[in-house]
Amino acid sequence: MRSRRADLIAMLVQAGTAGASGEVLAAALGVSRVAVAKHVSALRSVGFEIEAVRGTGYCLTRIPDAPVAVEVERLVSDPMWARIEGTVETTSTNDDCKRLARAGAPEGTVVLAARQTAGRGRLGRAWVSPEGGVYLSALLRPRIAPADAAPLALVAALGVATGLESLGVSPGLKWPNDVLLGGGKLAGILLEMSAEVDEVEWIVAGCGLNVHAPAEAPPGAAFTDDVVTLRAAEIAAAVLDGIAETYREFSERGFASLAGRYAERHVLTGERVSVRDIAGRVLVSGVVSGIDEGGRLLVEDAAGVAIPVVAGEVTLRPPGANGAS
Ligand code: BT5
């Protein structure tokens, strides 16, 4: 259920420049006028500009351009996201979300931040997280075995792409977890998990997404601003709705029913690649022939045999490089 504060923003947006009186807002929200004034001051503290005009009431004059939790809550459609929290700055939204997971928070809990001081990529890499991006982590509690969790990175990446497409952005996907735009990296996914051997307890799906380019952009980064101009909260809400849709499909029908959609957006098909394990050893080199129904990358080796890869780092290889490097 949407919070009173998110409902209040919705009412103020609807009232437009005419504004709405404290009395009308209080009646519609089922609270006192004093409570309305408290909600208004809380919204101001997170960047909303709300004028109080004598005789008219409250008038919303500016919505902040940051992934503010209450604004994302107002904009998100999918009921899966029942609890959305956020701060301006945190070390890593994945850490915050993992803390909530350990404390028993339900599936559908989301943590947002406008910047991170220790944003992480996979395998200990850094995720550059200045203001101007969207940093979010979503708590999932899928009823699956840990061995079946690998496709969830693809499910989340496809969800991000689906959400962005609803806003007019057409990203590509690079197995397993990259969302690309015009050859640059627009978003990355980091999954962290707690599990018993037989069952996943929780998965935190973190997504870092570049919206406005900072003064010092990471090399190879792309930004939604390159193609659309939207507020960070609009992008966060669309991305969450996209993830909810693909996650539901995965939970009900398995990755097989999403494989075609992933493949349509997959930029590596037909490319010569090397795939390495976490120690840097080459697992396979060859031409990518697609993604299988379990979300594995299929790489045709020199003998023309399609080798399925569950996990690894993919690098593109120059044409003519031979198969066994
Ligand atoms: C990822 O790792 O792509 C996963 C990124 C997940 C970040 C989110 S933000 C919310 C949540 N909280 C966290 O602490 N993390 C998650 P990986 O595939 O390992 O890619 C990391 C590489 O991407 C780095 O080594 C850089 O080369 C590059 N990179 C770093 N920051 C970038 C950025 N902002 N834009 C584009 N590329 C970046």
Q: Smallest Cα–Cα separation from 132: which of 213, 71, 72?
A: 213
Q: Is the dihedral of CA 19, 21, 26, 32 positive or negative?
A: positive
pLDDT-derived band of residue 321, with 50, 70 and 90 as boundaries? low
What integer pLDDT is reported at residue 28 of this predicted model? 96
Residues 244-296: pLDDT tens digits? Answer: 999 999 999 999 999 999 999 999 999 999 999 989 999 999 999 999 999 99
pLDDT-derived band of residue 307, with 50, 70 and 90 as boundaries? very high
pLDDT above 90 coverage of the chain, percent? 94
What is the position in ligand 1's atom list of the atom closest to the CA of 92? 14
120 lines ligand 1 (CB under 6 A): yes
Residues near 173 by beta carbon (within 8 Å), at least 6 away in sequence: 154, 157, 158, 161, 179, 180, 262, 265, 266, 267
Ligand 1 atom 9, closest CA: 208
189 lines ligand 1 (CB under 6 A): yes
Place of tokens 């969207």: 134
Residue 203 reports pLDDT greater than 50: yes
Question: Environment class of residue 64 by beta-carbon count within 10 Å: exposed (0-12), middle (13-18) or buried (19+)?
Answer: middle
What integer pLDDT is reported at residue 323 of this predicted model? 43
Residues 80-130: pLDDT tens digits? Answer: 999 999 999 999 999 999 999 999 999 999 999 999 999 999 988 999 999
Q: Is the dihedral of CA 225, 134, 143, 79 positive or negative?
A: negative
Give the pTM. 0.95
What residues are paired with 210 via a beta bridge? 133
Residues 79-93: pLDDT tens digits? Answer: 999 999 999 999 999
Decide: 216 and 228 in contact? Cβ < 8 Å.
no
Cα–Cα distance between 186 and 184 in angstroms, integer? 6
- Span from the CA of 299 to the centroid of ligand 1 (angstroms): 25
185 lines ligand 1 (CB under 6 A): yes
Decide: 249 and 257 in contact? Cβ < 8 Å.
yes
184 lines ligand 1 (CB under 6 A): no
For residue 144, the one-letter residue type is I
Q: What angle do the packed helices 33-45 and 22-29 form, to 10 degrees?
A: 100
Residue 66 reports pLDDT greater than 60: yes
259 lines ligand 1 (CB under 6 A): no
**Structure-token pair, residue 67:** 């992934």
Cα–Cα distance between 160 and 187 in angstroms, integer? 8
What residues are paired with 84 via a beta bridge? 110
CA 135 to chain centre: 7
Cα–Cα distance between 175 and 153 in angstroms, integer? 9
What is the position in ligand 1's atom list of the atom closest to the CA of 185? 36
Residue 319 reports pLDDT greater than 70: no
What integer pLDDT is reported at residue 320 of this predicted model? 57
Cα–Cα distance between 261 and 257 in angstroms, integer? 8
pLDDT above 70 coverage of the chain, percent? 98
CA 240 to chain centre: 6
User: How much is the average pLDDT of 176-200?
Assistant: 96
Cα–Cα distance between 276 and 285 in angstroms, integer? 9
Residues 132-151: pLDDT tens digits? Answer: 999 999 999 999 999 999 99
208 lines ligand 1 (CB under 6 A): yes
Strands (E), the chain: 49-53, 57-62, 83-90, 109-116, 133-140, 172-174, 178-181, 184-195, 200-210, 272-276, 282-291, 297-300, 306-309, 313-316
218 lines ligand 1 (CB under 6 A): yes
- Span from the CA of 208 to the centroid of ligand 1 (angstroms): 6
Helices first, then strands: H and E counts in the chain: 8, 14
What integer pLDDT is reported at residue 255 of this predicted model? 97
Decide: 60 and 13 in contact? Cβ < 8 Å.
yes
For all residues of the chain together, what is the average pLDDT? 95
